[in-house]
Structures are given as C-alpha cells and as structure tokens.
Amino acid sequence: MELVAIGMVESSLTDRESAPKQGDEGAPEATLVFAPHVAEGLDGIAAGDELLLLTWLDRARRDVLRVRPRDDPANPIRGVFSTRSPDRPNPIGLHRVTVVAVAGLRVRVRDLEALDGTPIVDVKPLLRTVDER
C-alpha cells in the first residue's frame, strides 16, 4: 500500500503552529501543482467546483493514538479516530476546498490549511447524499 505523489501544495503556510486547524477557520488560498503524469485525470475540474483533497501530512507523527482535541486543555483526551488530528497511524489529510481557477497543472483553491510542500495523493468530488446527486 504505497502512495505515489500526484502533486504538491504551494501555500504561504509553512509551519503547523501558525496554520489554522481547519480550512474554514481562516486558511488562505493555495495552489495545487499537479505532476505532468496525472494531467489527464484533471479533465473536468473547473472554477467553482467543491472538491475533497487528500494529502499526505508529512510532518505528522504516526505513533499517536490518543490526543487532546484542538490542543485545548479543556477537552478530554480521546482516540485519534474520532478527531481530525494530523497525528495518526496513516496521516492522510482530508480537505474540503473550492476551486478558484485552473491553469493547466496549477489549480488555485480557497480555504486550504495544508502546509507548503505537502504531497497531494488524491482529489475527489465532494460527497453528497443521494438526494443531492
């Protein structure tokens, strides 16, 4: 189960401490720079699309199973699988973003809390319930 990078995040965010914890908490615009070998897979992505971006959180710890959510001392410690902590056995980041513009292999998005240089591993359309499809 080996992931291949299909691109990389270009962002003004460079360290975890100063990054917002969720994309809709003041995260900046960022650029998804895709690798030439996946160019055909981008066909159909356009400005205004809401996407789920999957990344590999390469600065996370993989030996953490229990955390205090949002690093807030008021929160009780709990298992990582009921939190969005980046520290977890498989540090896959899941980010809901809106496409601002597409220029070839460069896709500009809103509301991305991933750090500069984070590898991209997948992109999917937003999950919808059957009623919305």
CB 20, min distance to a second copy, A: 10
Between residue 77 and residue 96, which ones bind a second copy under the rule CB under 8 A?
A: 78-84, 88-90, 92, 94, 96
* Angle, alpha carbons 42-26-133 (nearest 5°): 45
**41 in contact with a second copy (CB under 8 A):** yes
Binder of a second copy out of 33, 60, 105, 121 (CB under 8 A):
121
Binder of a second copy out of 14, 24, 47, 101 (CB under 8 A):
24
Please name the residues in contact with 20: beta carbons below 8 A apart, sequence gap of 6 or more. 26, 27, 113
**49 in contact with a second copy (CB under 8 A):** yes
- Cα 129 to Cα 52, 60, 132, distances in angstroms: 15, 31, 5
Residue 33 or 54 having the CB closest to a second copy: 54
Q: What is the DSSP letter of 23?
A: T
- Name the strand (E) or helix (H) holding 38: none
Residue 16 or 37 having the CB closest to a second copy: 37
CA distance 103 to 28: 19
Binder of a second copy out of 12, 14, 16, 25 (CB under 8 A):
25
**50 in contact with a second copy (CB under 8 A):** no
